[in-house]
Structure 1
Amino acid sequence: MDAKQIKTAISNLEKSQDDDASLLEILKTLDQGIKATEALLRETKVGIVVNKYRGSSNNEISSLVKSMVKKWKEDIKKSKLKSDGKTPNSTASQKNGTTTTTTSSSSSSSTTKSTTTTKSASTAGTAEKSLKPARVYEGKRSCKIDGVDYRIYEESIRNSMLDALYTGLAKENKTNGPNEIFGVAKEIETEVFGMSNHMTNDFYRSKLRTLVANIRSSNNPELRAKLLSRRLAANKFVKMSPEEMANENLRKEREQIEKENLFKAKSAVEKKAVTDRFQCGKCKQRKVSYYQMQTRSADEPLTTFCECVNCGNHWSFS
């Protein structure tokens, strides 16, 4: 099969992803028709597409994909060994009971040139890889879509939690690779499993569901970014409260609400007095009601809460 035929087969493969029979037929066609080379795999990206079905629930599909990927790797390895430099020709001569190995100068020269050429090709390949732009992941992501085998434990509940964590961490993510995201998901699950005395009990389930809900929150992309960049370690994350996980804007909103509630709290409010000593910063009037409360430790000064009689503006100071 040439590159064009392979790309057509890939397109049909993606269209038939919900039909196991069609999937199996197309995969078998690719298996029989492709003689893998590094250039062909890079051009068509067939290896990436096929590998997505490695974790298929259909054992026949899963086994076939693993066999195909293994065969392609072996084909590329053999091709590389075949194309690498030749070994120098040596002649052995027997003289006076001792064996002398002679290598021709032309062979030595050929070997040197071959080595130089190989090194140059290797350097060029490294430079090409370094210039190659990072892959961008588009659309919805999950273990199944990204081709990640998350079923690494005997307990299905642990595998399900890994899948849920991966999906949450990968939400709206276009840059982090599957291995990187799965590594963070595994660290979080492992920490919670340890906190629950290595049992999948109610604490384990409840804790992970809470963590997943916070990770997946549309209002908190900062949390996902911190976890994936390792600015927030898994062992610290699992001990945080929902309030600590909230993003900066949400925390400020909660503080503002608490502050407003403090103003409105009648039971703890002393009788208000009206004075002209304070000026409203909003309307510049000097008709202001105020009261004082001890909001901090006893050795700290009282906090004065002010309200403009004219426009209702609130402020406080110590």
Structure 2
Amino acid sequence: MSMEIRIKCREMLATALKSGNMPPGCGDPDDMAAKLEDAIYGDLNGCKVKYKNRIRSRLANLRDPKNPELRQKFLLGQITPEELSKMTPEEMASDDMKQMRQKYVQDSINAAQMAKVQGTKTDQFKCERCDKRNCSQLHIRDGDEPIITFVICDECGNRWKS
């Protein structure tokens, strides 16, 4: 990997670190960018494609206006260059994004569990997809929320809330 590419990457990282408000007591963005680039380069042993992808990922996350905490924590030394160089997208995400991902995971788990649970057979509902009345219903209540009825067509697998 040419030194020119590495210098350009350091400059881009420094620019990303300088975007936005600089927290009091933070480190020198140029120095921190150089340390981050060194950590990325050392971790990937000069593999050009992976190196560039990792640099792009760090740039996007450090510039993200919805995630100023990552940039601030790095500038204040709460996240080391070595840690940031190896963080996954999930680890770099903002708290809001982490909560949203957790909700999606929980919703997926609930949907998968519902598929395995046998509901009560009923002919009260008519499937909009196949027009049959061969359904199962499942009642779910979460805390003080009202009861939600999920209906699954046993013929075609269509699902809906009633």
TM normalised by structure 2 equals 0.69
User: Which residues of 2 match residues 267-278 of structure 1 at below 5 A?
Assistant: 268-273=115-120
- Decide which of 17, 36, 39 is 1:191's aligned counterpart: 39
Q: Distance in 1 between the 2:94 and 2:54 partners?
A: 20
1:227 aligns with 2:95: no
Tell me which residue corresponds to 2:144: 281
**Per the alignment, do residues 248 and 175 of structure 1 end up closer, same or farther by CA in structure 2, a change over 3 Å counting?**
closer
1:168 aligns with 2:31: no
SS in 2 for 1:202: helix
**Per the alignment, do residues 280 and 239 of structure 1 end up closer, same or farther by CA in structure 2, a change over 3 Å counting?**
closer
The RMSD of aligned alpha carbons is 3.3
Tell me which residue corresponds to 1:212: 59
Tell me which residue corresponds to 1:158: 6
Where does structure 2 lack aligned partners over 5 or more consecutive residues?
121-136, 151-160
- Asked which structure has the greater CA Rg, the reply is 1
Where does structure 1 lack aligned partners over 5 or more consecutive residues?
1-153, 290-308, 313-318
2:23 touches 2:76 (CA, 8 Å); kept in 1?
no
Aligned AA for 1:161?
C
Which of structures 1 and 2 has the larger relative contact order (alpha carbons within 8 angstroms, sep 6+)? 2
2:26 touches 2:75 (CA, 8 Å); kept in 1?
no
1:184 touches 1:228 (CA, 8 Å); kept in 2?
yes
**Per the alignment, do residues 234 and 168 of structure 1 end up closer, same or farther by CA in structure 2, a change over 3 Å counting?**
same
Deviation, 1:264, is: 2.7
Deviation, 1:269, is: 2.2
Deviation, 1:257, is: 1.4
Deviation, 1:179, is: 6.9
**Per the alignment, do residues 170 and 176 of structure 1 end up closer, same or farther by CA in structure 2, a change over 3 Å counting?**
farther
**Per the alignment, do residues 216 and 236 of structure 1 end up closer, same or farther by CA in structure 2, a change over 3 Å counting?**
same
Aligned AA for 1:216?
R
Deviation, 1:208, is: 1.0
User: Which residues of 2 match residues 1-318 of structure 1 at below 5 A?
Assistant: 155-175=3-23, 180-197=28-45, 199=46, 201-265=48-112, 268-273=115-120, 281-283=144-146
Deviation, 1:263, is: 2.5
SS in 2 for 1:219: coil
Aligned length: 136
Residues 198-245 of structure 1: CA distance to partner in whole angstroms, max 9, x if unpaired?
Answer: x36222112111111111112110000000000001111111100111
Tell me which residue corresponds to 2:132: none
TM normalised by structure 1 equals 0.37
Deviation, 1:173, is: 2.0
1:157 touches 1:200 (CA, 8 Å); kept in 2?
no
Residues 232-275 of structure 1: CA distance to partner in whole angstroms, max 9, x if unpaired?
Answer: 01111111100111011110111111212222337852212579
Aligned AA for 2:96?
N
